């Protein structure tokens, strides 16, 4: 049979086969479709071991790289069912009533997982609960098998009392459970809560659990045990988990100073700084000095305007080509008026779906995210960093840190001569 | 305080004048200030040099991992070299007699073996401190705490970081397979038959068993940076990853596998632009290109593969080629041809006319040369790294791509340097079939006998050989894994095989050069 005709999708500029005028199968876009069957990530660990922290962060990362992911926190289901939390006694292992409710909540959450993965086009579900017994994990694993999901366990093991105390202060004291308690009362109750789980805790075992796919994170990332990684997405998850850390630090994002082309209302190109842009660079130097940042790394793109800006700081900086501004292809160095005049269809399409819209012979925001992923990974590894970049690039990075979805990303406000200072706090 | 003073001075002076380097198109300050350490292309991958120390009984894949990892690191631009103590031993002891050499009570031999380890470490130091090496892979059993302690002291004295890679495997089938793959053909056993060799080698392994102290990250070795690879990658234990490069190494090791499989590389069928001599663009297939696509379909069918994945770029010509296969395929933007920037859709004559300086610069240094508003081979390597990583994860894959892209991928598999990469021969209508074998890659070149234009440009006579050493610094510069300091006298792996379905009048066979470095 003759080869099918290819047509270029006007929005994304991708070539797709058509069969009798209808888009045909047989072709997938790498980068978005990374999973074949859905994946169920199951958190494991005593309370205050960072399970929810990891769940939320991992979910944010996976969504940003284009893998539809959602977390299901069983504690949240419990709070919705049991309107008022009284005390740790709810979690006593012999509290029949409590056990019944908790089991109900787990099942309700799993039901929602099933709906998300099988009916709502979710790719990954993160099941955030203690899941500390083998029995509970077997139930979940069977659930996964029945529904055709791959199951991947993420266990956080930590015995350092300082870390646990810090976790409690960071995220437990402010929990809805303890809204009417003093800090001391809350801490005392929470410690007793943890005790309730200890006796029945069965850590993932080298022999008993040898056929499961999992990562065991020990002491907040000092060491890891990785067992039977099954596919690409699990491999990416492991890599991500091994690169994140919890050391306090700040990330500064800003654009280059105003450029000559900015002044003329033209997009793209590789112009130098305007007079005001140079003033900004000087101010930025002063600002950085005043911030008194320990071991600040400075990153720029390979475009003149970011490098000129960095030069004013008088400190070493690294140039990353992947931080270059979005490539506007045939529209490079045009004004928006000129684009509207010369490429009215393109102009309209961009407003229709700004995230997926790819400039002819250029890039889309979606492309940007893919090329920026190594930057995000390295930002996770680093501590204090100043990234001097560009509008579209900054929007992508910001969307990652602030968990903004694709629809909002291209409209995030990133004005010139403004620095965004990001500091990790609690779960965000 | 000195830094603060320097900072203040700079804030006051501030010309911010930059010049763009002619070949790489990198913006650099054009006054001759004492150079602030400046990285040109991407993250600084490592600060202090690193010694990677392999650990494990014989036939556990240490040399396999050493060579493969070294090839990967060199390709992504981190100068890396393997130091295989066994090779030093073969130089020192001209003739291997039997496993008796390795008996723990053989004092004479123990002395020699320790000397060889020391000699290798001396060369490690030379490589890392005087030869611009970044990573040295110390390939030996290193099965005792005493030996590892000695290496740690050596590293500490010299300011090197240390990262241990231990391979643990107790599956007798795996061990036996390893022995057959790479030990029976070792120079040590060139005068033995397979059975005798196997028997001797198993006794050799036994010599190490009693004194083997595996890495113990829970207790004795809890401060060390290490990865334990268990049962050929079923399981990993990772402890104290210190920096970016160690993180990349761990990720790489966790993605490689040893399942037999084949990788097929080819370009799209001849395109309309190929016919016109135009580079780049997004044209469709010519008639001959369509014929090739059909021939490729037939070829793939004849290969009778289990679960073949097919990857294309997002340019029309590769997709059209894949369409003829009538198999599912995945489009990767990362596989798009090198962006020729302002030279897109021009012929070489037009480029020579309209951009004579650019034309000359490219011939001067084709690997680093970046087209104005376009890309360089160096940029390509960076963008192709996720493709390589996924190729390592996969099994049978056919990659339908483009000339420059294919050269980059091929350079990775065949361990070619930056200097050679832009001149590797990747003609149209020819499939390269890559099969992992022993420590490297067997390559077969298969022409499908459909005529096409020749798009290959040879390295011009007057172009200098070798990248400018000044430009190599801090940049993504694939190097071929360097020759080991002590060469084995007999190759321990197969030569490449060129296969063609030769018919009169077909395109001349252009066979890419040979095997990976030793």
Per-residue pLDDT band at A393 (split at 50, 70, 90)? very high
A318 has which bridge partners?
A: A299, B39
A232 has catalytic annotation: no
Return the pLDDT at B30. 78
Distance of alpha carbon B46 from alpha carbon B225, whole angstroms = 15
Can you read off the two tokens belonging to residue A196? 């309730």
What is the pLDDT averaged over residues A400-421? 98
Nearest residue to B15 (alpha-carbon basis) of B1, B39, B32: B32
Can you read off the two tokens belonging to residue B28? 């650099």
What is the pLDDT averaged over residues A325-353? 97
Determine, for residues A242 and B250 on separate chains, whether the beta-carbon distance falls below 8 Å.
yes
B52-68 per-position pLDDT tens digit:
999 999 999 999 999 99
Distance of alpha carbon A16 from alpha carbon A28, whole angstroms = 9
Return the pLDDT at B47. 79
Nearest residue to A397 (alpha-carbon basis) of A271, A261, A299, A294: A299
A253-285 per-position pLDDT tens digit:
999 999 999 999 999 999 999 999 999 999 999
- The 3-state secondary structure of B448-506, one letter per residue: CCCCCCCCCCCCCCCCCCCCCHHHHCCCCCCCCCCCCCCCCCCCCCCCCCCCCCCCCCC
Distance of alpha carbon B366 from alpha carbon B460, whole angstroms = 11
Can you read off the two tokens belonging to residue B518? 């030793």
| Distance to chain A for B320, nearest Cα, Å | 7
What is the pLDDT averaged over residues A213-242? 97
Q: In this structure, are residues B75 and B185 in contact, taking their beta carbons and an 8 Å threshold?
A: no
Domains and CATH numbers, chain B: 50-255 (3.40.50.300), 263-462 (3.40.50.1240)
Nearest residue to B248 (alpha-carbon basis) of B136, B47, B389, B134: B389
B142: left (phi over 0), alpha (psi -120 to 50) or beta: left
**A266: DSSP letter:** B
Interface test with A, best of B232, B246, B328, B333 (most A CBs within 10 A): B333
Interface test with B, best of A271, A301, A314, A320 (most B CBs within 10 A): A314
Tell me the H-state helices in A155-293: 161-167, 183-198, 232-243, 260-263, 275-291
Distance of alpha carbon B80 from alpha carbon B75, whole angstroms = 10
Q: Lay out the sheet containing A420-422: strands in order across.
A: A318-319, A297-300, A385-389, A251-255, A420-422
Fold classification of A251-422 is Rossmann fold (3.40.50)
CA angle B402, B404, B406 (to 5 degrees): 60
Distance of alpha carbon A14 from alpha carbon B316, whole angstroms = 8
**A405: DSSP letter:** -
Of B29, B244, B320, the CB nearest to A378: B244
Q: Residues of CATH 3.40.50.300 domain(s) within chain A?
A: 39-242
Distance of alpha carbon B467 from alpha carbon B330, whole angstroms = 35
Residue A234 touches chain B, beta carbons under 8 Å:
no
CA distances from B401 to A20, B113, B443, B458 (A): 27, 48, 17, 21
A144-153, B29-38, B507-516 — which is least confidently predicted? Answer: B507-516
Q: Hey, CA dihedral for B392, B293, B335, B80, is it positive or negative? A: positive
**B334: DSSP letter:** G
Residue A340 touches chain B, beta carbons under 8 Å:
no
Q: Which helix (H) or strand (E) holds A255?
A: strand A251-255
Q: Give the CB-side neighbour count of residue A386, counting CA atoms within 13 A.
A: 27
Distance of alpha carbon A347 from alpha carbon B423, whole angstroms = 41
Q: In this structure, are residues B428 and B317 in contact, taking their beta carbons and an 8 Å threshold?
A: no
* pLDDT over 50 at B499, yes or no: no
A173-194 per-position pLDDT tens digit:
999 999 999 999 999 999 999 9
pTM for the model: 0.91
What is the pLDDT averaged over residues B284-302? 98
* pLDDT over 80 at A246, yes or no: yes
* pLDDT over 70 at A299, yes or no: yes
Looking at the structure, give the CATH architecture of the domain made up of residues A39-242.
Answer: 3-Layer(aba) Sandwich (3.40)
Nearest residue to B139 (alpha-carbon basis) of B61, B197, B210: B61
Can you read off the two tokens belonging to residue B376? 């360089």
Nearest residue to A331 (alpha-carbon basis) of A7, A13, A8, A9: A13
Return the pLDDT at A83. 87
| Catalytic residue of the set A155, A325, A363, A366 | A325
**A195: DSSP letter:** H
A318-319 and B18-20 strand pairing: unpaired
User: Which residues have CB under 8 Å from B267's CB, separation 6+?
Assistant: B318, B400, B401, B402, B403, B406, B426, B427, B428, B429, B430
* pLDDT over 80 at B375, yes or no: yes
Nearest residue to A244 (alpha-carbon basis) of A48, A425, A53, A44: A53
Q: Residues of CATH 3.40.50.1240 domain(s) within chain A?
A: 251-422
Residue A418 touches chain B, beta carbons under 8 Å:
no
B449-472 per-position pLDDT tens digit:
999 999 999 998 865 555 544 344
B408-432 per-position pLDDT tens digit:
999 999 999 999 999 999 999 999 9
* pLDDT over 50 at B229, yes or no: yes
**A39: DSSP letter:** E
Q: What is the interface size between A and B, counted as CB pairs within 8 Å?
A: 175
Residue A307 touches chain B, beta carbons under 8 Å:
yes
Nearest residue to A234 (alpha-carbon basis) of A71, A30, A428, A67: A67
What 3-state class would DSSP assign to B126?
helix
Q: In this structure, are residues A270 and A304 in contact, taking their beta carbons and an 8 Å threshold?
A: yes
What 3-state class would DSSP assign to A343?
coil
Distance of alpha carbon B426 from alpha carbon B444, whole angstroms = 12
Return the pLDDT at A426. 86
B212-228 per-position pLDDT tens digit:
999 999 999 999 999 99
Q: In this structure, are residues B24 and B376 in contact, taking their beta carbons and an 8 Å threshold?
A: yes
Tell me the H-state helices in B277-415: 287-303, 316-323, 348-354, 356-364, 377-393, 403-414
Q: In this structure, are residues B400 and B267 in contact, taking their beta carbons and an 8 Å threshold?
A: yes
Residue B329: its chain A contacts at CB < 8 A? 26-28
B142-194 per-position pLDDT tens digit:
999 999 999 999 999 999 999 999 999 999 999 999 999 899 989 999 989 99
**In chain B, what is the straight-line distance between the N-terminal and C-terminal CA atoms, in Å?**
50
Nearest residue to A328 (alpha-carbon basis) of A307, A347, A312, A302: A347
Residue A229 touches chain B, beta carbons under 8 Å:
yes
Interface test with B, best of A235, A321, A359 (most B CBs within 10 A): A321
Q: In this structure, are residues A6 and A351 in contact, taking their beta carbons and an 8 Å threshold?
A: no
* pLDDT over 90 at B478, yes or no: no
What is the pLDDT averaged over residues B4-24? 66
**B39: DSSP letter:** B
User: What is the interface pTM, i.e. ipTM, of the complex?
Assistant: 0.94
CA distances from A204 to A137, A158, B40 (A): 10, 13, 45
Determine, for residues B314 and A14 on separate chains, whether the beta-carbon distance falls below 8 Å.
yes
A115-165 per-position pLDDT tens digit:
999 999 999 999 999 999 999 999 999 999 999 999 999 999 999 999 999
């Amino acid at each position: 049979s003759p080869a099918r005709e290819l047509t270029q999708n006007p929005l994304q500029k991708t070539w797709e086969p058509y069969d009798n005028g209808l888009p045909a199968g047989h072709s997938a876009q790498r980068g978005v479709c990374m999973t074949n069957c859905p994946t169920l990530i199951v958190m494991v660990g005593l309370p205050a071991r960072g399970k929810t922290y990891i769940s939320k962060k991992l979910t944010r990362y996976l969504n940003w790289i284009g893998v539809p992911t959602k977390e299901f926190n069983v504690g949240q289901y419990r709070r919705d069912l049991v309107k008022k939390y009284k005390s740790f006694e709810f979690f006593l292992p012999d509290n029949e009533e409590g056990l019944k409710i908790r089991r109900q909540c787990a099942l309700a959450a799993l039901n929602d997982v099933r709906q998300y993965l099988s009916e709502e086009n979710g790719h990954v579900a993160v099941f955030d609960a203690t899941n500390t017994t083998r029995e509970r994990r077997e139930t979940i694993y069977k659930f996964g098998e029945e529904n055709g999901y791959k199951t991947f366990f993420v266990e956080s093991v930590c015995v350092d009392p300082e870390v646990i105390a810090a976790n409690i202060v960071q995220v437990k004291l402010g929990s809805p459970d303890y809204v009417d308690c003093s800090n001391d009362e809350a801490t005392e109750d929470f410690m007793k809560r943890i005790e309730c789980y200890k006796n029945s805790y069965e850590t993932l075992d080298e022999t008993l659990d040898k056929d499961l796919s999992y990562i065991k994170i020990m002491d907040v990332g000092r060491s890891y045990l990785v067992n039977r990684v099954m596919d690409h997405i699990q491999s990416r998850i492991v890599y991500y988990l091994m690169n994140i850390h919890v050391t306090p630090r700040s990330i500064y994002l800003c654009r280059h100073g105003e450029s000559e082309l900015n002044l003329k209302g033209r997009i793209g190109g590789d112009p130098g700084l305007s007079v005001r842009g140079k003033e900004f660079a000087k101010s930025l130097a002063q600002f950085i000095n005043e911030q008194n940042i320990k071991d600040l790394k400075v990153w720029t793109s390979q475009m003149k305007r970011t490098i000129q800006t960095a030069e004013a700081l008088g400190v070493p900086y690294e140039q990353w080509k992947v931080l270059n501004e979005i490539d506007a292809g045939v529209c490079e160095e045009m004004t928006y008026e000129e684009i509207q005049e010369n490429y009215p269809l393109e102009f309209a399409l961009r407003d229709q779906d700004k995230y997926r819209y790819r400039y002819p012979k250029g890039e889309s925001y979606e492309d940007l995210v893919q090329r920026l992923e190594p930057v995000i990974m390295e930002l996770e590894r680093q501590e204090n960093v100043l990234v001097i970049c560009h509008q579209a690039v900054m929007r992508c990075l910001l969307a990652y840190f602030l968990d903004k979805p694709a629809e909002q990303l291209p409209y995030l406000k990133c004005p010139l001569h403004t620095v965004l200072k990001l500091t990790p706090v609690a779960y965000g | 305080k000195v830094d603060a003073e320097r900072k203040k001075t700079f804030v006051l002076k501030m010309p911010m004048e930059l010049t763009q380097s002619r070949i790489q198109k990198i913006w650099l300050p054009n006054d001759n200030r004492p150079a602030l350490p400046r990285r040109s292309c991407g993250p600084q991958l490592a600060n202090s040099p690193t010694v990677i120390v392999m650990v494990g009984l014989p036939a556990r894949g240490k040399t396999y991992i050493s060579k493969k990892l070294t090839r990967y690191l060199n390709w992504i631009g981190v100068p890396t070299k393997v130091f295989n103590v066994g090779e030093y031993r073969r130089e020192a002891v001209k003739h291997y007699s039997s496993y008796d050499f390795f008996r723990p009570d053989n004092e004479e031999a123990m002395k020699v073996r320790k000397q060889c380890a020391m000699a290798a470490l001396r060369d490690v130091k030379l490589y890392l401190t005087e030869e611009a090496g970044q990573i040295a892979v110390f390939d030996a059993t290193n099965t005792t705490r005493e030996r590892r302690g000695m290496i740690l002291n050596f590293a500490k004295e010299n300011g090197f970081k240390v990262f241990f890679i231990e391979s643990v495997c107790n599956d007798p089938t795996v061990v036996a397979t390893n022995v057959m793959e790479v030990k029976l053909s070792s120079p040590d056993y060139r005068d033995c038959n397979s059975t005798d060799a196997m028997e001797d080698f198993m006794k050799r392994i036994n010599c190490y068993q009693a004194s083997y102290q595996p890495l113990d990250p829970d207790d004795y070795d809890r401060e060390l940076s290490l990865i334990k690879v268990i049962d050929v990658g079923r399981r990993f234990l990772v402890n104290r990853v210190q920096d970016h490069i160690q993180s990349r190494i761990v990720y790489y090791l966790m993605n490689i596998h040893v399942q037999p499989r084949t990788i097929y590389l080819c370009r799209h069928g001849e395109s309309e632009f190929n016919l016109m001599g135009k580079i780049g663009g997004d044209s469709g297939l010519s008639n001959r290109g369509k014929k090739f696509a059909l021939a490729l379909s037939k070829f793939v069918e004849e290969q009778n593969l289990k679960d073949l994945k097919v990857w294309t770029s997002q340019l029309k010509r590769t997709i059209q080629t894949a369409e003829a296969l009538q198999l599912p395929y995945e489009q990767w933007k990362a596989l798009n041809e090198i962006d020729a920037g302002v030279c897109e859709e021009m012929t070489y004559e037009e480029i020579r006319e309209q951009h004579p300086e650019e034309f000359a610069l490219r011939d001067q240094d084709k690997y680093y040369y970046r087209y104005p508003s376009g890309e360089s081979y160096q940029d390509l390597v960076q963008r192709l790294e996720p493709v390589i990583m996924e190729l390592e994860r996969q099994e049978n894959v056919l990659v339908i791509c483009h000339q420059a892209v294919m050269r980059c991928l091929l350079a990775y598999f065949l361990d070619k340097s930056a200097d050679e990469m832009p001149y590797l021969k990747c003609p149209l209508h020819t499939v390269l079939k890559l099969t992992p074998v022993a420590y490297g890659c067997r390559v077969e070149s298969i022409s499908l006998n459909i005529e096409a234009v020749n798009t290959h440009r040879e390295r011009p006579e007057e172009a200098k050989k070798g990248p400018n050493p000044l430009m190599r610094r801090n940049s993504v510069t694939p190097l071929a894994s360097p020759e080991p300091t002590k060469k084995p006298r007999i190759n321990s792996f197969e030569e490449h095989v060129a296969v063609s379905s030769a018919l009169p009048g077909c395109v001349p066979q252009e066979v890419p050069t040979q095997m990976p470095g030793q």
